[in-house]
Amino acid sequence: MSTMLQRAGNGEGSTVLKQSPYKEKPRSFDRLFRTRLNNKMFRIICFSSIALLCIVLFSIILFIGRTGILAFQSVPAATFFLSTNWTPEDEQFGAGLFIYGTLALTALTLLISTPISVGIAVFLSEIAPDWVKKTVRPILDLLVGIPSVVYGYLGLTVLIPFLQNVFGQPIGEGLLAAALVLTLMTLPTIARVSDDSIVAVPKKYRDAAYALGSTRLQVITKIVLPAANRGIMSAVILGMARAIGETMAVVMVIGNSPIIAEGLFGATSVLTSNIVMQIMNVAFDSTWNYALYMMAFLLLLISLILIILIRVIRPKGEVNV
Amino acid sequence: MKLFNKFTAIVLASALVISAGATLTSAASSLSGKITVNGSSALLPMTLQAAKEFKKKNPRVRIAASGSGSITGPQSVKKGIADIGAVDWDASTSVPGFPAFSGQVATPVAVIPFAAIVNKNVSVDNLTSDQLKGIYTGKIKNWKEVGGADAAIVVVTRSFGSGTRVNFELKALGGTRIDEKASGSIAASNSGTMATTVGSKPNSIGYVDLPYIKGDIKALKFEGVEATTANIVNGKYKIWGTGYYMTAGQPTGATKAFIDYVTSKEFQQGSLKKLKFIPLASIKK
């Protein structure tokens, strides 16, 4: 953009100078000045874009936080965070069960997803022949791009009847169904990022280990995985962030009842699913509305903490490799 | 400088074109203005169809319609961000869980038929109001208690604030509130999900408006009466709701003209019927 402007300015400038009838044209409008002006303008535009982004972002956080805090006017903070009685039509706002649901769902998802994803990553980077790498990696990248509502619909129409048949449960919705759907969604993220960090482990480490007579299993478990440890950690956190914030897929398979999950089957709710189910149906200036905003703010804080965690882990990992 | 001149020329030219266009259209119709409709997603297809036809007759009236949930309708009118709030119940009176919106006028626009639905594997095909009440408050938990097979009832409901739920509670359950905790129900986020959930889940029961009933679900008879538009019209079948347009005070100007069009015989007997709503005039009160 800037170079284009500059070039146009140059060409125009030279012709104007030759043909200009105004001989007394001020010196300050020469080519150098205009180039500098262009550069300066470009810089100002870039800076103001960033400033705008920051302002928008902070106003969003501020707005959500401020609206959310209004909830504490009529609901004590302790009740909000610890009570599990969510019956907004009777003025009972206990978000504890949603916080519990969110944490339980995320933990269960990572429990299933991490071993599989890291297994895939190890296979792709250490074991698989080239043609497998070349086909599987794009497939994993493609899986990230499928809209989550599609995963949710597949979960609702394929996975849940399957779970009902296999486990003989009257209701298939619940933590397990949601965790399985989320596993499929976080798997490509975790696998690809871990894959990259395993590939980044220098070849000389492996060569040295092989030279000492290690088997491939020993090289992978004793050398490669510990060396790629921090990269894998940040991959897991990235997957976790996706699992916590995911809404559309979860809302279709979790059952959406404001009850603490009794085991893996049986409807329950998480923060995201409860917000999306109710936000359309609440009065604008009600405690109920504020409570939903508070839950959104809570989610925001959780993701923020995760992002900070990634930032803390990442640089150290790079120094290591 | 050259760039600036070009830009000015373009701006001037487009301004001219726009003002010319405006003067041209102003000759076509006397009625003008902008109408914003917000609220019930169940009524949205009807509103959109009516808006399309109304705009053909009055090209200078612009209509923006969106559907995001019944309660949003009267709320938007209250806040002044919508001229018409579409809602599945009369929001100028209070219904279970929702206070009345005072100062708003409700104009009935269409009758929406509902039915209790079950998965096709359920052998029961008729339930009374008391049996439905029992199921939705958790007192009846097995199909054999209402004459079906020995299987646990899977209760599906809509989340609190849904217009369908309000109407179902009012008409089918006689004003009794649905109890999620006692019935162990799961909640569907909209009518489409409700139909999919009940269709894919054996032994499940739910409720939905008639146009959604197809595939692996069947409509239950209510108190022995089949859920058909004919039975609603002749007064035998009780589970139906009326869709309302809420306005702040009596409607005026373009808003009034639009509501008049929606309630006109031409629209009620034509497009409204095709969309599977029931014309207001067909119902004997």
Q: What is the pLDDT along chain B (285 residues), one digit of tens a residue?
A: 455 566 555 555 555 555 544 444 444 457 888 899 998 888 888 999 999 999 998 998 999 998 877 888 888 898 888 999 999 888 888 887 778 888 899 999 999 999 999 999 999 999 999 999 999 999 999 999 998 899 999 999 998 878 888 899 988 998 888 888 888 888 888 888 899 889 988 899 999 988 888 888 999 999 999 998 889 988 899 899 899 999 998 988 899 999 999 999 999 998 888 888 899 888 765
pLDDT, position A21? 54
Kindly state the tokens that stand for A52. 């705008």
pLDDT, position B14? 57
The CA distance from A88 to A82, in Å, is 16
Q: Which residues on chain A are in Cβ contact (under 8 Å) with B152?
A: 170
Q: Which residues on chain A are in Cβ contact (under 8 Å) with B187?
A: 255-257, 267, 277
Share of chain A above pLDDT 90, in %: 54
Tell me which amino acid residue B34 is.
K
pLDDT, position A29? 72
- B152 interfacial to chain A (CB closer than 8 Å): yes
Judged by CB atoms closer than 8 Å, whether chains meet at A281 and B75 is answered as no
Minimal CA separation from A158 to chain B, in Å: 9
Tell me which amino acid residue A40 is.
K
- Helix, strand, or coil (residue B257): helix
Per-residue H/E/C for B89-136 = CCCCCCECCECCCCCEEEEEEEEEEEEEEEECCCCCCEECHHHHHHHH
The CA distance from B22 to B2, in Å, is 30
- Among B154, B181, B200, the residue with its CB nearest the CB of A161 is B200
pLDDT, position B101? 87
Q: Quick one: which H or E segment has residue B271?
A: helix B271-274
Kindly state the tokens that stand for A276. 């999306």
pLDDT (tens digit, 9 = 90+) per residue, A4-61? 444 444 444 444 455 555 555 556 678 888 899 999 999 999 999 999 999 999 999 9
Tell me which amino acid residue B262 is.
V
Residue with tokens 């019944």: B70
Query: Would you mind telling me the total number of residues written for chain A in this entry?
Result: 321
Note whether A269 and A279 are within 8 A (CB).
Answer: no
Q: Which residue of A has its CA nearest to B155?
A: A171
pLDDT, position A198? 94
The CATH number of the domain covering residues in A77-313: 1.10.3720.10
Note whether B262 and B279 are within 8 A (CB).
Answer: no
- B187 interfacial to chain A (CB closer than 8 Å): yes
pLDDT (tens digit, 9 = 90+) per residue, A77-98? 899 999 888 888 778 898 999 9
Domains, chain B: 33-111+241-282 (3.40.190.10), 113-234 (3.40.190.10)
Q: Which is more confidently placed, A262 or B187? A: B187
Q: Which residues on chain B are in Cβ contact (under 8 Å) with A280?
A: 68-69, 71-72, 161
ipTM topping 0.90: no
